[in-house]
Structure 1
Amino acid sequence: MAVERFEEHRDLLTGVAYRILGSVTDAEDVVQEAWLRWSGVDVSRVEDDRAYLVKVVTRLAVDRLRRVKARREAYVGSWLPELIVTPDVAEHAELADSVELALLVVLETLSPLERAVFVLREAFGMPYAEIGEMIERSEAATRQLARRGREHVQEGRPRFEVDRGVRRRLTERFAEAAVGGDLGALTAMLAEDASLVSDGGGKAKAPLRIITGARRVARFLSSIASGDRPRTFMESIGAEPVSGFGVEIAEVNGGPAVLVTAEGRPVSVFSLVVEDGLIRTIFLVTNPEKLSHL
């Protein structure tokens, strides 16, 4: 009975933990720890399974986030969230938006409590009083945390909403130009102050520093690809082996992304932030640990 009651909420619990932590692996560990705690209580006395379990997971996730923040500060290169596939974007657009890579990157700038409140309120629509009980804060203090979190997110997110169809078409054009090493086409797609943020984690090839400026970003992208020798592209982004190379558009973290594979294995993902019809930011993930859930 306890197992069935827990499993009924597992997807929700994993979703809450992932949005707070930005890591599937950490989220799964938190949910497993929540299960161990659930299995040790008299569940017949629990009136609201969902509220009880979300509270447990939220507190565990906040505690874990406080611990892992120090590790992320010592990370090799830029730290980007672990990626997930989101196939049902059209049916669950609001929840898909809450796992957008650009949003998760901004959430890294929040305190653990601000992030938890933002996730529970904005992604799952929970009342302030209920959230306050989960994080052991008054409703007034919870509202203040939510306000600060929203302000930070609004400052860091793209200024305009982009039609999903427009973003997908631009992603397709970007993939074609990047694989072909078309410097002119790449430059034309990029905003003047465009940047490329890459995460290899010291486990795969990737620039350790952020590349800024349309020309510099375009030159980097064109240098790692060649229309005549596509394997050059694979080698440059750390793909081993390079046989069976493929490039496709996939729905990753709520939006279209360029997924590069070798023999069916994901080796890199390019996710684009689009503003005013131009690419403002490119997130490049090559760390194999961040791609394992694709």
Structure 2
Amino acid sequence: MESFEQHRGHLTAVATRILGPGGDAEDAVQETWLRFERADTADVENLRGWLTTVVSRICLDQLRSRTARREDLVDHHLERPTEDPTPEDDAVLAEAVGSAMQTVLDELTPPERVAFVLHDLFAVSFDEIAALLDRSPAATRQLASRARRRIRGTTPATAPGREVVDAFLRAARAGELDTLIALLDPDVVLRADATTAAMGPAPLLIGPQDVANRFNGGAQSAKLMIVDGIAGAAWMHRGEARVVFDFTVIDGRIVAIDLLADPEVLAGLVLEPA
């Protein structure tokens, strides 16, 4: 019971962002609790991730049921849960408060909505979301990209995360380790896809010290770019992106950096000069 309660606030935030506030989100968390009680989680290493997957699947089923019934979702609004706001709530509200965004969110397909919320608002990896949606990581990235372009409606000058990513790249080139660490979330992760890892970078780094050390004095050839509507970077060769740096920024800090070099993935990205 105690282990579940430690993650209840996070699960409520996830369900609320996917479904909108109210009874549906509360029901999803309660159903997650029931499944947790019935499951053997003794060998689960990442309980938060396991619970996030469970509650997301429940929310996805609810969204599909809504779509089948053709319910009118426009009246739902993105607002703060009423009990014990969490840091996740504050981060999401800072990025995405407003009925205008919620109206667009309600117009997305259930897979688009889940992919966007989990990745852009909670930094869940596309590999994890792909398993949840029964899609390939590349197809899942496309779902989130389509959703993001519809929701953001931004120009390169106003792309989310631009100032943070720009500051990170400048600090990396200048070898300013303390600045790099300050721009990173305490739980930041650096993930490299298989194609990038084959070039040498470690496939996974966790924590601001290791991630900052990886970039300190580097990124000399990385250009600030807009990647599917949000700030990122790319290493270009003869006018083509060879490696894309996909940043996830929440509440002014970088929580994830994905290094992408898979040709299938790169072919599906929309890159714009910053």
Q: TM-score, normalised by structure 2?
A: 0.50
Larger radius of gyration: 1
Structure 1 length-normalised TM: 0.47
